[in-house]
Each structure stands twice: as structure tokens, then as C-alpha cells.
Structure 1
Amino acid sequence: MTGPSVLAAMTVQVLAAAERLGADAAAIVREAGIDPSALTDPDARVPLGPHLKMWEILSRRGDGLQIGARLGIAGLGVIGYAMQHEATVGDALAWQQRVGAVLYPGLVPQLERRRDAAGDYVVFVRAMVPAFAQLREPVLAQAASIVTMMGGIAGAGTRAAFVALPLSRPAEPREVEAHFACPVAWDAPLLQIGFAAEILEVPLPRADPQLFGYLARRTESMLAQLPADASWADRVRREIGAALAEGEPRLQAVAKRLGVSERTLHRRLLDEQTNFAGLVEEARHARAVHLLADRSLSASEVAVLLGYAEPAPFFRAFKRWTGETPQGWRRRGEAG
């Protein structure tokens, strides 16, 4: 299969969850143009276009939160099964980061370790393409599925410490906020799901090195079969990281270095459910937290290292990301 595709297990599990909620899965498959034969093998691939069309159809129902709560480990196919047999939660997540392209390049959020006065956290961070966020339901589904996944490997009762959603606050947010049972921020620039970092050390009750090795080898084989340029988002992330210290990363310059036109790069990022501005935001956010931990750097120097021409835009961006100024973030860290 040529072109972007997702692991069939993801499509199958989403449809199964929707069907349990009363949706007509067969009708959705027909309308989305999904080849039913691709759904018989969880390790097969489903073209990205029909998979996204499926979500467009499901978004009419407003079941994203409930679908995500029913996914978790099962929605990750062979990767999810393997993760359950790693030694610790941290080991499982680190391995998922390495092989996540099997699900779909760029789908698995980046992991960020964040320490401040409020605590020590591991945070799932992902930039969402605006068109995808406008559907709302896929964003809610991914947020809910991350929490369900963590419960599946770390144990029932696992709760997020905080959730930030790149969605406008609805008139009635209580269902979403009650579901996560933790502080929920709306209108965030990035999807963020944070957990207490101590969860990384939790041993997995089903740890089995031999079984994990078998499933990991199967996953590695699937990864090796993906096209070499499967993830444009990862290639762009590398270019953004290299460009940050030299100034504002520009789509034109990155496209030129990757040997494609701006329009082509923009389209390929959209195909992977992200965009250039979101990836720049994601990279700056992660690097800002890391650099501010170095007390030898002033906040203004950090702004320069993030490619800002002057400090003010960085201060505004950091306030948008975290709800506080760089100086306030540092003060709380020192107090802690």
C-alpha cells in the first residue's frame, strides 16, 4: 500500500467501540469507503483518508469521549499487547515512543518530563491539526484513550493529574471535566495529558520478557516494512530543532531542506494530522521547559535560544502554554 495509512487494529477498535454505543458500524464502513477485508487482520493497514472519513462520520454523534474510554490498550493492536508485558510503565512508554509509527506516524504524543513546584510529571504532548480539532470528537477520544491506556498498564484507578485540550470550552463542560476527574484546561495550544511521574516506576503485573520479546520482534518487522519517509512530521521536527537557535523556523526553509515545495510539505503534514505551526509550538514548549531549568540562563536568553527575535512573544507564548510567566514558573520551582 502506498500513501499514509493506519494500523487496522485502530480502525477496528474504534468501530467496535462506536457499535457498542449504538452506531451502525457496517454503514460507517460503507460511507467512509473502508475496504471490509482490511478489517479482518488487525496487523493490516487502512488508508488514512477512509480512517479520517470514519471519524468525520462519528463526529456527528458526539461519542468521542465514550469511544476513547473504550479504546486504551486494545486500540493499539500488537503494540498495546506488547506494552503490557514490559517490566515497568516507563519501559512500556519508552518502547511505544520508538515504534509508534506502526500505528501512524505522529499519532503517538511526545513524552515530556516536567518538574515544578506543583510536582513531578510525565506529560503526553501532541500538536493537533486545526481541521482535526474542529471535529472535537477525535481530540476527546485521544485524550480519553490515553487515560484508559495508562489504566490498562498501570492498574485500574489510574487518574491523570491534569488535562489540557486544544478545544474551545463548550457551554456545558461538566461531562468532559467529570470524566477526567482532574483539572481540565480549555483553548490550549497543544493536547497535554499529565500524570504523576512516579507512575513510570510502577512494575507491570503481566511482565513477561519472553512474550514481550516475541511481540516486540513482530512490531519491529512491521515498522521495517513502512516507507522510509513514513513520518513527515518527525522529519520536520528534526529540522525545526536544528533551526530554533538560528531564529524563527520557516516553512519555506524547512521545505527547501527536505526537497519539497511549501505546498507539498503543508499537504503532507495535514495528511499526518498536524501542521507546521503546531510542530513549532510543540518544539518550543518542550525546549522552553528544559532550558528554564538551567538557572544560568535568563528568560531573555531562553527566548533567543527558542528563535524569538525578542523576549515579549516568548513570554506571551509561555503564559499560553503553562498559565504563568517564565519567571513565575522558575519561582515556583525554586520554592518547591
Structure 2
Amino acid sequence: MFKGLFLTGSMLGMLGDFIHEKGVHIPEVDDAVAQYGTQARISLQLWSSLLQKISTAVNDPALGLAIGQRIAPRHVGVLGYLVLSCQTLGQALLRFARYQRLVYDVNPFSVHMDEQGMELRWGIDYGKPGSLVDETSIAALFNFLHILTNQPLHPSFVSFVNPKPKNCQVYSDYFHCPVEFEDTVTRVRFPAAYLEAPLLHSDPTLLELLSQQAESLLVVLPKADAFEEKLQQIMVQCLHEGEPTLPAVAAYMALSTRTLQRRLQERGLIFQDILEDTRRELAVRYLEDKSLSLTDIALLLGYSEQSAFNRAFKRWYQQPPKVYRKAL
């Protein structure tokens, strides 16, 4: 699941900085930082997996907020320095929206303006990556805007699509505004007065040069693969009905089994790997929903018995799902 969704490799530096400041050694994070350069693109699957590794090692129920505090311009690549060169916060947000795929090519945000201010909205076009992924990205953006202005920025409202956590107060304290959960989209609203806030390092000449560079980088980014998107959606549907098989998925996609096999091979994909990835990522999302029992989750993931789900989850995250849920 979430194949075809990417982040810039420079964001790995934020994870590396965080664990080193915590004094925690996580080989998978260190290896990823060393392997991927700042110009590389990393999959959302890898990003989510690394965040889960950190979550296992660091006991922090609001981990995404803590990681997002470590954001720095170098973690955002060309776009980081581009928005630093803008004149106002409003201009910076509009530029960020235009070039966001250079940094975070997952669920895009859209900008909505009215007389009360500006609202950034993230839909769920490509699914829900989960609380940890969403909160890390929103916190990183929030703290980056503080870097741009060097003054406290208090949104007027924040909401997330994800389930309500145990301690909501930590989120209100962090953003200094009301925070809600289980919304239809993720929202961050800023008062109108903030949009004219001047930036510290405004440079119109540099802004023009970096905008040209960003445009050239944007043009060559690969477009989302419609086949993979449809495959992901159907795989989730099939899981709800039991263990998906290649012929069953092919039938849902109105393809012959042979054609589906060929298209998977053309993309270097293996059916069983996609099934495993989909289950692993959905498991975390379902565990966040406290209304679902472990038996419910096992059935939603296509397992005939909860014990099979327990074994799989322990293989993925080195702990039973019951223990993982308690830490949420």
C-alpha cells in the first residue's frame, strides 16, 4: 500500500537529528540517512517504517510532534531555501503549496483563503498514512513556518483525520489553539494578520532563481501510477472478504490473471509483497481506532484467526499488537 508516494531523502536528516539528540541508536535510521542522498526520493513505506522503529525505541505518545520540532531548512531541500527567500508568510505558503511534491509527495494540501485567513487542507486521496506520519509532517511544517518568521505562530484551528488520542491536551498546548480529531480532512487555519508577516531572509532575486530551479525539478517528477493506485484500493476491499488471491484481485480489476501478473512484473512488483505491505500498514491504522477489537482487525486484514494476525504483527514490529496499542 502507498506505493508511488514519496518524500525527499533530505527529510531523513530530521529523523537522524532526532534520535541522536535522544541518544538512541536505531541502525535502520542511520543506514537510511547514509544510503539516501538529499536529492533522492524515499518511499512513504520506508518513511512510515522508520517512524515506527523510532516509536518502538522512544516512549513518547506525541512522538510526531517532537520529531517535527527538529525541522531545519536543509531537511526541505531546494524548497526550504526558496520559501526562506519569500517576502511574506502568505507568499511562502502559496509557494510551498505549488512545489510541495518536491518534499512531500503524499496527500497534497490545498490553500483556501477568505476574509478570516488562510486554511491549509490535506485530503485522503491516497489513503490515511496514520497518525504518526500525519502528525510528523504537520508539526514539521508548523515549526518551519516559525523558522521563517522567528516569531510565535498560533493557528486559530487544527484538526486531523485520525482517531482521537488519549491525551488531547498535549496537542492544544503544542499548537496553542483548539485541536480536533476524526475530521473529514486535516486542516490548519491561520489568522489573516499572519499572512502579511515579513520573513527574515527575503531575497527577491534568489526567490526567482530558486523558483526556476523548482519548476524544472517539478516537471521531471514521475506522475502517480493509476494502476498501482487502483491495485491498492482493490487489495483493501479484498482483505475485508478474506485472504486475497491473485485471480480474485484480477477479477476486481477486470483483468485476466495473466495480464495482472504481467503488469506487476513490468513494475517489479510481487503480489505477495504487496499483500504483506498492505496488511502491515493497515494494521497500524486499525489499531489506532479503539472501537475495533483485535479480532475485528484480524478479520479486516483477511486473517481467519486472531493468532495469525498476532504472529504477523510481532514479525513486523517486534511486539504483539496488544502491547503496541497500549502505547498509543
Helix, strand or coil for the counterpart of 2:182? Answer: coil
Are 1:203 and 2:174 matched, yes or no?
no
Tell me the residue number matched to 1:93: 93
Are 1:45 and 2:41 matched, yes or no?
yes
Tell me the residue number matched to 2:27: 26
Letter in 2 for 1:221: S
Aligned-residue Cα RMSD (Å) equals 3.6
C-alpha deviations, 1:273-312, integer Å up to 9, x for none? xxxxxxxxxxxxxxxxxxxxxxxxxxxxxxxxxxxxxxxx
Q: 1:35 to 1:4 in 2, by over 3 A?
A: farther
Correspondent of 1:166 among 161, 164, 183: 161
On the 8 A contact 1:162/1:183 being kept in 2, the answer is yes
On the 8 A contact 1:125/1:191 being kept in 2, the answer is yes
Q: 1:72 to 1:158 in 2, by over 3 A?
A: farther
Q: State the TM-score, normalizing by the size of structure 1.
A: 0.59
Letter in 2 for 1:194: R
For 1:231 and 1:159, the matched residues in 2 are separated by: 38
C-alpha deviations, 1:68-93, integer Å up to 9, x for none? 12226443222011101012222222
Helix, strand or coil for the counterpart of 1:59? Answer: helix
For 1:15 and 1:201, the matched residues in 2 are separated by: 34
Equivalent positions of 1:89-238 (< 5 A) are: 89-115=89-115, 120-128=116-124, 132-133=129-130, 136-227=131-222, 229-230=223-224
Stretches of structure 1 that go unaligned for 5 or more consecutive residues are 237-254, 272-336
Q: 1:154 to 1:4 in 2, by over 3 A?
A: same
Q: State the TM-score, normalizing by the size of structure 2.
A: 0.61
Q: 1:190 to 1:5 in 2, by over 3 A?
A: closer
Helix, strand or coil for the counterpart of 1:23? Answer: coil
For 1:35 and 1:15, the matched residues in 2 are separated by: 7
Letter in 1 for 2:129: F
State the 1:205 CA deviation: 2.6
Helix, strand or coil for the counterpart of 1:200? Answer: helix
Q: How many residues align?
A: 233
Tell me the residue number matched to 2:34: 36
Stretches of structure 2 that go unaligned for 5 or more consecutive residues are 231-252, 255-259, 265-273, 279-328
Are 1:57 and 2:58 matched, yes or no?
no
C-alpha deviations, 1:217-245, integer Å up to 9, x for none? 33223222212x2486xx99xxxxxxxxx
